Amino acid sequence: MDSILGRYRRIDTTDSPLSIRSTSILLIIIALSIVSVVPQLAAAAATPDLLLDPRTHVLPREYDARDYYAVEIDWNPGDLANSDCDLACRIDDFANEIGLRFEEPLGSLKNHYLFSAPKSISHDGAAPAAEDHVSAKLRKRNSAAQPVQYFEKMKTKRLYKRDVPDRYAYDQPIDSSLLPLRELEKALDIHDPLFEKQWHLMNPLQPGHDVNVSGVWLQNITGAGVVTAIVDDGLDFDSDDLKDNFFAQGSFDFNDHVALPKPRLADDRHGTRCAGEIAAVKNNVCGLGVAYDSKIAGIRILSKEITDVDEALALNYKMQDNHIYSCSWGPPDDGRAMDAPGVLIKRAFINGAQNGRNGLGSVFVFASGNGAMNGDNCNFDGYTNSIYSITVSALDRKGLHPYYAEDCSAQLVVTYSSGSGDFIHTTDVGKQACSDSHGGTSAAAPLAAGIFALVLSIRPDLSWRDMQYLALQSAVKVDNPDAVWQKTANGRDYSHRYGYGKLDTYAIVEAAKTFQKVKPQAWFDTHVAQVHTDIPYGKNGVSSEITIDQNDLVNANLESLEHVQVTVNIRHQRRGDLSVWLTSPFGTVSILATTRVNDNSNEGIVDWTFMSVAHWGESGVGNWTLTVYDTEKPELKGTFEDWTMRIWGEAIDPARAKPFPMPKAPAESTSSTTTANTPTPTTTTSTTTSEAIPTTSTTSTEQPVTSATVSAPSPTSTGDYDDNAGDSKQNDSNSAYFSWIPTFGMSTDKVVWIYGAALLIIGFIALVTVYFCVQRRKKAGFRRAGDSDGYEFQVLRNTNDLEAGNRGNGNTRASGRRKTRDLYDAFENIDEDDAFAVEDILSDDEDDLSDDGHDSGAASGKKDAGKSETEEGKERLLGDQGSSS
């Protein structure tokens, strides 16, 4: 019977071989799990960082002979890790399959690559084919759900320097103070400008009309440790005024694809002059920069035609080392153009803001434009009206508005440049050459960039949005009658001509010393308000409202406004006749578009996104009204079709904040789902005339009067912005990556794999620990239960234990009776056939005992005893079954 009971005894956890085997199995599982994760980690670590430095690519672009294609390929890190073909091999296979030549990765844009092929020619050999075979193959791969996520054939273009224009080429009014001077210059054929060197740094002739930097220099704040990249036409790094502050590691020539951005053309002077404003060293040559101990890098893109690929690479080039990007260029300022960055450049802006400067964001500074004499407005420029740009316009040395400087609601601040008979005096191309004719908003932007370098030198922890806050909060109001100031929700005045005022170096540096960093960014997209209403001619207009309630913003995790974007669709026979106003619930008016005398386009305004900084600090809750006016030619008609808004601002809860997704190409865009809190649009047609309707951006911002209200059709879906990536609304539970997890500068894929592996290992260790604790606790409980020696059942040592009954005494015998009875209860339903099965088991045990290796006497004794016990146990089992039945 010992043999039977031994099959049901609890295993001793102290020295059982099974316990050792279980522990070994768990440890093997842990080891296998770790080993299985290692290839994934290796792939994740290797794949995102396979970025080649553009300077190692020695071949120049062959735009005359080859077509270039930007392609985004979504490689699976697991497939790469488990394949003999690595990423370079996969790229070569992909290129061979499509018929392309691999050129290079697209800088820091993840999974983006540049390929090229010989130019596609039509069958007659006269012109490019409508769609070349390469595009057709890529489109097929895209539609077949292959890893191609995006592709685009690059088109060449030219960007234009925003240097001071020749005012004599235009019939424009000039400052009255310059009339006698201009008459004398004309009479004597004098072309030398009046000048007082570097009056923009300290102006003794017109006190107060400078950047007020002397008090900062006296504190030994001179820009040390900060690098500004001059994205322009090159930089003369051999100049005695610049060579000591030249940062070669952050420089590259994307026009000729060589390492150093040397000026090569006769007019490659623009970038060198801008660089001198920022970082001309303190020596005996020319003047000095506003941040004369800071460094400057040169990124050359303006001297030849380029594509979006090179422009995107330039805006992200060495973005961990280059802190500020000074950009004094853009589309033509002719009053006709309406150009926006392509999808790659938009991605580069977002990439720089989210990942530049180790996550603090690159600071992009753009000149507002020199098209005022052409009636241009900087909200028709997709670079200056980007939320990622600090758009800077100009003042002259007398504090007046220069004839060239554009107005718009995207303009944040102004600073000094040419006008009132003087220019900015700075470095020029040549070993010791100087310039006394630098100007335009091209000169204002780098001067602002140099001031921001001073700020970052004492507060390198500030984000790109922190810098925008500091700029508007410390700006000094320009007390000119043409400003048309209006009070805003943040307590400051705003003007479409001067922004929040002029930059004051001492004020912004002092404010930066105690500035509290803002919380992460949040945003909210409204639905598309359907209007489809004819625009009446004259000082009447057609208006539409979008209502935002508090729940919308709470759900979007948005606390207060910063930037407001409005995307509109307006059909019209002449685009230049239109003006567009946005009125906030607070009452602040943003003039998003003004009439443009040179704009004869009949394309209207199609999916164009305007931007305003005039509503900074508002809550956003209430009715937002967009009004479209047609004030020029009554015979030309138009229709206000629809519009939508995206408002940006500071997050309520930083833990819920998430990064804005990369924008999709137009063909990829899909409508996002309308939420339950969709505002209801209404359309209002004004029947009362108002003298406040703008024909230029300098008119008053008094509100037009409206009277008749007509319901607009209800929207069926929420449309995307042209830079939207699907449904981009804030969500408190679907954040892809939590902001509080440290990334240590690694890519997102690396962080996911590493943290995932760590959690897996920790989980297994926790399971093993729990297992051993449970076993230890059970063992202790068994020992406290009595004389069990670590067993759940009492060991039966002889036949007396079976017959003890009421004769037993003491705890051990009592326990033995109880457990023996319980054991028999387990067999109480056994039938006769099962009883004979038990006999067979007992017979097998007897055979095992007979084969034991002990001496014959002991074995014989044990065998006889075993037989008697077996027979008695069988009889008792059968007897119990019979009595129970």
Which sequence positions are flagged as catalytic? 232, 270, 442
SS (H, E, C) 471-532: HHHHCECCCCCCCCCEECCCCCEEECCCECCECCHHHHHHHHHCCCCCCCEEEEECCCEEEE
Task: Tally Cβ neighbours within 10 Å of residue 193.
Answer: 16
Alpha carbon distance 211, 509 (integer Å): 12
Alpha carbon distance 420, 394 (integer Å): 12
Instruction: Tell me the C-alpha to C-alpha distance, in Å, between residue 765 and each of 29, 759, 760.
Output: 11, 10, 9
Instruction: State the distance between the two ends of the chain, measured CA to CA, in whole angstroms.
Output: 24
- CA nearest 147: which of 100, 80, 99? 80
Contact 695, 576 (CB under 8 A): no
Task: Tally Cβ neighbours within 10 Å of residue 858.
Answer: 10
Quote the tokens at residue 433.
């050459």
Please state the length of the chain: 885
Tell how far CA 603 is from the center of its chain. 32
Quote the tokens at residue 105.
């990765």
Torsion, Cα 780 785 791 792, to 10 degrees, reads: -110
Alpha carbon distance 448, 460 (integer Å): 17
Rg (CA), the chain: 40
Question: Tokens 């036409």 map to which residue?
Answer: 233
- CA nearest 407: which of 484, 344, 316, 505? 484
Instruction: Tell me the C-alpha to C-alpha distance, in Å, between residue 405 and each of 38, 182, 396, 411.
Output: 58, 20, 10, 11
Contact 417, 439 (CB under 8 A): yes
Contact 252, 58 (CB under 8 A): no
Instruction: Determine whether 102 is exposed, middle or buried from the number of CB atoms within 10 Å of its CB (0-12, 13-18, 19+).
Output: middle
Question: Tokens 């005012």 map to which residue?
Answer: 167
Contacts 24+ apart (CB under 8 A), 750-758: 750/44, 750/45, 750/48, 752/44, 753/37, 753/40, 753/41, 753/44, 753/45, 753/77, 754/41, 754/44, 756/37, 757/34, 757/37, 757/40, 757/41
Q: Which residues pair with 494 in a beta bridge?
A: 486
- CA nearest 661: which of 308, 241, 351, 439? 351
